[in-house]
Chains A and B, each alone.
Chain A
Amino acid sequence: MTESATHNTHLPLSDAEVLRIRNDFPILETEVNGRPLVYLDSGATSQNPLSVMEAEQEYYEQRNSAVHRGAHTLAVEATDAFEDAREVVAAFIGAQSNELVWIQNATAGLNLIAYAFGNASVGKVSEAAERFALTAGDEVLVTEMEHHANLIPWQELCRRTGATLRFIPIHDDGTLDMAAAATLLNENTKVLSFTHVSNVTGVINPAAELTAMGHGVGALVVLDACQSAPHLPLDVKALDVDFAVFSGHKMLAPTGIGGLYGRAELLDAMPPFLTGGSMITKVTMEEAEYLPAPQRFEAGTQPISQAVALAAAANYLTETGMDRVHAWEEFLGQRLVRGLEAIEGIRVLGPASGAPRAGLAAFEVAGVHAHDVGQYLDAAGIAVRVGHHCAQPLHRRLGLNSSTRASTYLYNTSADVDAFLASVAEVRGYFGVDGTPA
């Protein structure tokens, strides 16, 4: 950990401290199109601090080897680094280390769960796996605000098993219709899978309440924590979810690594998805027996250096303080929304200013396509996301094909938000749709 990342953890984050944090992120010093980079696309992928990159490099310089095989010294050290990383990342979300499975990213994690359920649904796997089996008449319940990654795997699972996919609708302000959720949950609901934080509206779902409602009808509850694990204190035990997934690259770590949490007794009972090396106890030409979790879900050589780097990222966030990160991003999120609301021709998706939201805002610019908005901002060095953000049904529900999204992280300052707002205020004039000649 570099010196600048040691913080006064009892004080809220401030612009002054964020400026020190930024010293840990060399990429934030780059220029784009001759302008200082204003990076507001962390909801898509975040930047890595030096300590994360150093952890990965240190692993390759000193420990690189295969894990969980081989008796030589390096193999032992690599295995220790790999399993120590698991402990750190599991603790980061309030889990035990045997409850954390390494995955490529949240998409891979949700597919792992859906395919494992699918495997439990075809043929007799074991008595213990029965609880994951779906059949015609069973229901999987998601929400209207899901990222495609928490929708399509369930569509496919339902197609394969004959189960029915249903969804909880949203209100016009993007919040979940909890009354509808209560009606839709019933004794046939076998799976309830929902996002903790919407990647488009910034809505923070009442995860503990929904989980209790899901458990009330006997459903397994899956949490897409992609937009929450990086940004707020996440305790999977306190929420009581059965499964949760998150992506490392959205939380200061490299691509290719993420976490799947599952309650220990569920992971040990669930059939594997990918099979092969490293996940077995005994193999004959006819059949195989599997290791307990997490290894039974980690077939093949794992992303070891990435796991080590993800642990370094979790440490960085913990040392900064997740409550402080969350509070700072709430402040930035409100600043974003208030500023956008003050610009003529802008419609913010999701809750209005003052209402709770994560540190992001997606919006529509009247008369200007999101692609053009993003291009204009890019010319000013401002990186945002444009398009449907992998949430086409949500956009359709809000009457749009696409939107522009600014998403913040702990390294963004008020000045970043203000530079963004100043540029957005120019967009309609540039494209000649504000009534003045272009």
Chain B
Amino acid sequence: MSSLDSLYQQIILEESKARRGGDLPNDLLAGNDLPENVGQCHQLNPVCGDEITLRIETEGDQVSGIHWAGDGCSISMASASILSDMVVGLNRAEVDALMSNFREVMRSRGKIQADEEILGDAAALSGVSKFPARVKCAMLAWVAAEDALNQTR
């Protein structure tokens, strides 16, 4: 597989169009008056204009819902879609572990092989780590999710 094909795996292209979780309505973008169990974060990559507003809902220790609105490249949108699918139902410790593993793989410049047992579909994003200019695209939704979840602690 060429490194371009490893970056744009079929699952990435499909997820970028599926945009799972990408249903945050416009009237919630401002994120006003959030209850204690809900966090929301806006992230912008000023280099390319990729943008996401991501909301996390929790019930006790668990993530019960993710909703986002965003615009960006296939990597950033696929990453948000995969994240939304993976994180709902996890508890905070599991989310933290997933995040730190994903971040480590992304920052490895292709040196760390993604473990599908841990990262699931997000392992398909490991090809991004060989393209340092694109790591921010893949991380955009994850950074937003981390911050949003922290708001609910």
B150 at the interface (CB under 8 A from A): no
Contacts of B67 in A (CB 8 A): none
Contacts of A432 in B (CB 8 A): 13
Interface of B, helix, strand, loop or mixed by DSSP: mixed
B71 touches A430 (CB 8 A): no
**A392 to B137 CA separation, bound complex (whole angstroms):** 19
Instruction: Determine the distance from Cα of A386 to Cα of B131 in the docked complex, in whole angstroms.
Output: 15
Interface status of A370 (Cβ within 8 A of chain B): yes
Q: A431-B13, A431-B74, A438-B13 are in contact. Are A371 and B3 (CB under 8 A)?
A: no
Choose the segment among B20-28, B45-53, B81-89 that binds chain A (4+ C-beta atoms closer than 8 Å). Answer: B45-53
Interface size on A, residues (CB 8 A): 19
Q: Is the CB of A386 within 8 A of B4?
A: no
A375 in contact with B48 (CB, 8 Å): no
Q: Which residues of B contact A387 (CB under 8 A)?
A: 47-49
Which of A371, A379, A438 interacts with B73 by CB under 8 Å?
Answer: A371
How many chain B residues touch A (CB < 8 A): the figure is 20
CB distance from B49 to the nearest CB of A (A): 4
| Cross-chain contact A402 with B4 (CB below 8 angstroms) | no
Chain A residue, CB-CB nearest to B50: A371
* Residue in chain B with minimal CB distance to A433: B17
The answer to whether B134 touches A369, judged by C-beta atoms less than 8 angstroms apart, is no
Indicate if the CB atoms of B49 and A401 lie closer than 8 Å: yes
Task: Determine whether B65 belongs to the interface, using a CB cutoff of 8 Å to chain A.
Answer: no
Q: A376 at interface (Cβ–Cβ under 8 A)? A: yes
Residues 350-383 of A at the B interface (beta carbon under 8 Å) = 368-372, 375-376, 379
Within 8 A of A (CB), among B56-101: 71-75
Separation of A402 and B134 alpha carbons in the complex (Å) = 16
Residues of chain B lying within 8 A (CB to CB) of residue A392 = 49
Bound CA span A376–B3, Å: 11
Which residues of B sit under 8 angstroms from A386, Cβ to Cβ?
48
Take A375-B131, A387-B47 as given contacts and tell me if A401 and B13 are in contact as well, using a CB distance cutoff of 8 Å.
no
Q: Is the CB of A402 within 8 A of B48?
A: yes
B1-24 CB contact bits vs A (8 Å, 1 = yes)?
011100110100100000000000
Q: How far is the CA of A372 from the CA of B72 in the complex (A)?
A: 10
Binding site for B on A (CB under 8 A): 33, 368-372, 375-376, 379, 386-388, 392, 401-402, 430-432, 438
Closest 7 CB pairs of A and B: A371-B73, A369-B73, A379-B4, A401-B49, A387-B48, A402-B49, A371-B48
Query: 18 pairs across A/B with beta carbons < 8 Å?
Result: A370-B48, A370-B73, A371-B50, A371-B134, A371-B137, A372-B73, A372-B75, A375-B4, A375-B131, A375-B134, A376-B4, A387-B47, A387-B48, A387-B49, A388-B48, A431-B8, A432-B13, A438-B13
